[in-house]
């Protein structure tokens, strides 16, 4: 499975995956979030593809020495298979020198990834 950087043609699928995040799921809010990733260079959104389907999304806000995991979601049909953790690890591999921080929403999952042996470098 590969992480692919978001592009405009992925907008609908990205909004669908974003809607699994807790909080405001109105179309307006989802569009604002997508716009943030499209227009702000320090915000980066990636999707993960399995066979022909995009099944997960991960979005970060980049800082100088760190990044903050803002959004993470996996299609409910594919949860519990390690895809969430795989996205966190692949993203960290893109930014090996940066430290990963969570938000109120994503921190508990990051802690879970860190607690596993192979996630120790996060």
Ligand X SMILES: CC(C)(COP(=O)(O)OP(=O)(O)OC[C@H]1O[C@@H](n2cnc3c(N)ncnc32)[C@H](O)[C@@H]1OP(=O)(O)O)[C@@H](O)C(=O)NCCC(=O)NCCS
* Interface residue list for ligand X (CB under 6 A): 20-22, 72-74, 79-85, 105-106, 108-109, 112
Provide the minimum distance between the beta carbon of 49 and ligand X in the complex, in angstroms, as a whole number.
Answer: 14
| Distance of alpha carbon 76 from alpha carbon 44, whole angstroms | 23
CA distances from 116 to 18, 109, 112 (A): 26, 11, 7
Provide the minimum distance between the beta carbon of 109 and ligand X in the complex, in angstroms, as a whole number.
Answer: 4
Give 57: exposed, middle or buried? Use CB within 10 Å, 0-12, 13-18, 19+.
Answer: buried
Taking the least distance from each CB to ligand X, the nearer of 60 and 84 is 84
Provide the minimum distance between the beta carbon of 50 and ligand X in the complex, in angstroms, as a whole number.
Answer: 11
| Distance of alpha carbon 52 from alpha carbon 91, whole angstroms | 21
Provide the minimum distance between the beta carbon of 22 and ligand X in the complex, in angstroms, as a whole number.
Answer: 5
Helices (H), the chain: 11-18, 27-39, 83-94, 107-115
Taking the least distance from each CB to ligand X, the nearer of 63 and 82 is 82
Taking the least distance from each CB to ligand X, the nearer of 9 and 108 is 108
Taking the least distance from each CB to ligand X, the nearer of 10 and 85 is 85
């Amino acid at each position: 499975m590969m992480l692919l950087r978001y592009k405009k043609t992925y907008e609908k699928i990205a909004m669908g995956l974003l809607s699994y995040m807790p909080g405001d799921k109105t179309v307006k809010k989802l569009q604002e979030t997508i716009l943030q990733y499209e227009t702000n260079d320090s915000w980066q959104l990636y999707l993960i593809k399995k066979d022909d389907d995009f099944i997960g999304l991960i979005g970060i806000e980049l800082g100088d020495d760190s990044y903050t995991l803002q959004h993470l979601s996996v299609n409910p049909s594919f949860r519990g298979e390690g895809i969430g953790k795989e996205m966190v690890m692949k993203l960290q591999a893109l930014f090996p020198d940066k430290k990963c921080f969570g938000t109120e929403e994503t921190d508990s999952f990051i802690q879970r990834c860190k607690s596993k042996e192979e996630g120790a470098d996060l």
